[in-house]
Structure 1
């Protein structure tokens, strides 16, 4: 086999450097963990949190929450709110159950140091991060009459400067300790099993905007398994939480 040309070797070195730089930039970013601080002894206590990024509303999940009076915290984007007025009406009819918080304006990751993550173009600058946060907040306020005070960005990953900037605006950052559906990509049986195995103190993340995915069926089933076991459900505002990197 002929030896590689000098130009080919240079290209290989350049690609390796670029890959190393990208990996280094990504390694500086943060995905926060969030748990309920010191859950009491007795029945499991968990916080259900849902992202509504775009698309529709998954009534398989929402109907279970309403039927069984299960509280949850929903993180919604401006673009989801704009296309789902009926869902907002339904949520607002049950204010005792649903805490509605900020998932951003256009579902742009709050990241400044890499150009994309999980196929999404990142904000790229603190000015764009602020636009994403403020646009989402204005939409939640308009839809609900209440200003949000929690934020979860697209992908739930943040560059450190973006994290500091969002916190400086007064937001608590919503991490999680149990990823139930991996972006609504897992099969129903796997999702149900993951949720049913939740530990007391877990903050669970799932998606409520993908009614065509099988994951939503698993979310609904997993919640019902928790309910049958005597689990206590709380909103984020109902409890003290503890965040860590």
Structure 2
């Protein structure tokens, strides 16, 4: 298994080798010259965009897109803390396949921030989400331990272990069959500080926050969740929601209101990568 940084270096080496082969071919006397193939749009956009490092080389943080176009990114945290295996064994469900089916039915692109522990518990679902062109899988840590103290009662991970925890999650995705996880990271609980950003900088990830809180965590009123989302969305918004039945049981029901209402207002749903790519190209 390779880390994200190693994968980026590998891509760069492959690109250099491909260029060298192409140049050598141009000088061949074996036949007439052939025009180099034009890269397809898919090839040009296959590498997910990231933001440049922040001040003092800290990992960059993305909160929402600076857009005039009415686009919105729905993001879903697939949470499972490392020590919740016994609860899963007793039948508690940390997945939400009905939610994923609803997104597919509505044809809504989305970014799923997945913990490595979740991918281990539900490898078939992780693989299916990663293989679906509607979705992209991003990193939500392996353990779902907090990267700062006093973060919603979550256990805390030591700074020296932060980078390894993120890399362990990417490895869990690969083992589950998620071939192309995007280089985005969401802090458990959304809690971070300079120490955490410094620890993640070497991994080459962009930290992704949000500007709209759905309030779906532990909610029992789907209409209230929908109202929070619809009242907060603006062009370029990132909405945080959850993909865990036990902790967010009404999210799928809330989507039945959110999706048609936003589309009626003229919004188009996008993945986080599109927002980040647009912001990077606008600079």
Taking structure 2 as the reference length, what is the TM-score of the superposition?
0.65
Taking structure 1 as the reference length, what is the TM-score of the superposition?
0.74
Q: SS of 2:137's equivalent?
A: strand
Q: Any conservation in 2 of the 1:181–1:207 contact (CA below 8 Å)?
A: no
Partner of 1:127: 160
Would you say 1:181 and 2:181 are equivalent positions?
A: no
Q: What whole-Å deviation, never above 9, does each CA across 1:107-165 have from its counterpart, x for those lacking one?
A: 11112xx3x42111111x22221232111121123331225310012101112111122
Determine the C-alpha separation between the residues in 2 that align with 1:150 and 1:33: 9
Would you say 1:51 and 2:77 are equivalent positions?
A: yes
Determine the C-alpha separation between the residues in 1 that align with 2:256 and 2:201: 33
The number of aligned residues is: 204
Partner of 2:67: 38
Partner of 2:245: 210
Q: 1:139 to 1:57 in 2, by over 3 A?
A: same
Q: 1:83 to 1:239 in 2, by over 3 A?
A: same
Q: SS of 2:189's equivalent?
A: helix
Q: 1:45 to 1:83 in 2, by over 3 A?
A: same
Determine the C-alpha separation between the residues in 2 that align with 1:204 and 1:147: 20
Q: RMSD value over aligned CA atoms?
A: 2.3
Match of 2:234 among 173, 185, 199: 199
Q: 1:77 to 1:89 in 2, by over 3 A?
A: same
Q: What whole-Å deviation, never above 9, does each CA across 1:162-204 have from its counterpart, x for those lacking one?
A: 1122133211001101011253436211111122231111111
